[in-house]
Structure 1
Amino acid sequence: MRSTRLGRSGVAVTELAFGAAALGNLHTPVDDESAAATVDAAWEAGIRYFDTAPHYGLGLSEIRLGRALTGRPRGSFTVSTKVGRLLDPVDHPTGDDCAQGFAVPATHRRIWDFSADGILRSIDASLRRLGLDALDVVYLHDPDDHLEQALSEGYPALERLRSEGVISAIGAGMNQSAALTRFVTETDVDAVLLAGRYTLLNHEAIGHLLPAAAARGTSVVIGGVFNSGLLAAPRPGATYDYAPASASLVQRAVDLQAATERHGVALRAAALQFPFGHPAVTSVLVGARSADEVRDAAALLSQPLPAALWNDLLAAGHLPTGVPTPKRI
């Protein structure tokens, strides 16, 4: 699998990145054996970039990912994690974390903290859970409601750690492009992670973020290419942005599916490959909860897509005029 450098850093990332939220029991439980087999399948498929966060299963994702990568040459893979949510142990835990999306016991509570001290504490805890002595990439995680603190305190702390060689690359990860554009234009981040805002259905990032990233030499990692399900299986009741999709969005996805299938192409393959048309996009992150899902994502990435497909999507107005489309070899 092809790889490239993240921004101006020396960190290598594969085109397909493994999103480890499901290893934290996202929505439904995953047993330890399945979690390990999923990471093994990713490795066998050539994936060498793995993304996690303390938020995912109250640390369970980091623990499982670290265990699964144990024994593999440290210089042969890249791990990113995130900061901004500290995990505070609960003295007498009751209930579960399902309200936050994870089927795990509520052993900790999350505390938003983008201060310099919070960043250091979060990184120290992540290193312990992952079983690593250094981190390749650290993203400020969802600082939407804490943007000024993230910019004025969190980012400088990461910048210092990068300059000291404690971490190799830094960035921010969000579900919106406007604030990420500020990170690109006002700071020296290596990369930004954008979820759900540069897809076949949502082209928000094409206006400002992607051009700014291309101009600055900042890498963009794209997540949420299936818009939480609608572009994987368009039908009434499918989800978009983790909520039931409107009838108009479902119809748009159905129309896209019909257009791709006229070219013998699965909608999911077009959805996964679409972001690579933009030169700022370095990697696409896909979550998986089983070995079969990983193998499916790798197959979608490798499926040849005809140029005529993209031309037809543009001509039919499914994509904005002038949007760059993939020219994969």
Structure 2
Amino acid sequence: MVTVPTPTGTPTARDSGRTAQRRAAAASPAGEPHRSGGAAAAARRETIAGYGFLGPWLVGFFGLTVGPMAVSLYLAFTRYDIFNPPEWVGFGNFVRMFTDDPVFLRSAQVTLEYVLLGTPVKLAAALAVALLLNSITRGSGFFRSAFYTPSLIGASVSVAIVWRAMFAGDGPVDSSLQVLGVELGGWVGDVDLAIPMMIILVVWQFGAPMVIFLAGLKQVPTELYEAAQVDGAGPVHRFWKVTVPMLSPVIFFNLLLETIHAFQVFGSAFIISNGSGAPGGRLNFITLYMYKRGFADMQMGYAAAIAWVVLVVVAIIAAIMFRTARSWVYYAGDNR
């Protein structure tokens, strides 16, 4: 085999590779640390700026949410009347709650009744109006704003006062029903009509879930309705086979939020019943009962225990909703 010598001054491939490596090694100590150090400094500045903007929220979160929750958790295991130091009683408040306080059990029953009846009716009304607004083109903005307005003022004290006057024995609602031959004698003082009156009030405030439903309806592809119509599906069939499955994530979101909100009803029940929960304890919701125990009877430790029981119950209900949602909530790209 004949070896052909490399001409003098002409670098081989091996020499070129070694030269490139030497150049990279020579440039690395001077350039790379400078670039990485500059990037790290910029990242630190961005992090500091981010925490600076986030600072007010963090102060509010830990000072006004986490801190009070931790204190209330401690007070739930104490006997505390605000004026004297807390006295540790362990699980005494919780034992008393479920074994020696029939008023608490009654208020829990009334609250669950309100949640189970009021939430579905409110969501059904919101969805019905959203479907109606989705089908019209002219004036939809005006009607959307008009239907949403009660959600802005529905929880105010003035609305609760007006509501109590409307459903009183001589109020407009009772007078209108008398014209139709229906004698009810007022809703406010009737044990059987107190909860329906509160449900009508919460249904009147369906604007927020209605807007969310309407936004979800705008995202449903029209091709699905056209294909279903070509296959001969009627309006009812298209609603159950197209609208409801495509809208199921929005339905789940509204159901979760409105269930949590229903457990928090307080202001309207307090105003309409004058803080007593009358008639017959039908408006003595769990939040109102907790308020009376804490601020009227000065049993702040017992009220804190009630608050934590409500929190645990709502958390369990939310967990059940998330667990069961896998069987009926469908997302885009879901192959089930």
TM range (shorter): under 0.3
Structure with the higher helix share, 1 or 2: 2
Structure of greater Rg = 2
What TM-score do you get using the length of structure 2 for normalisation? 0.21
Structure with the higher strand share, 1 or 2: 1
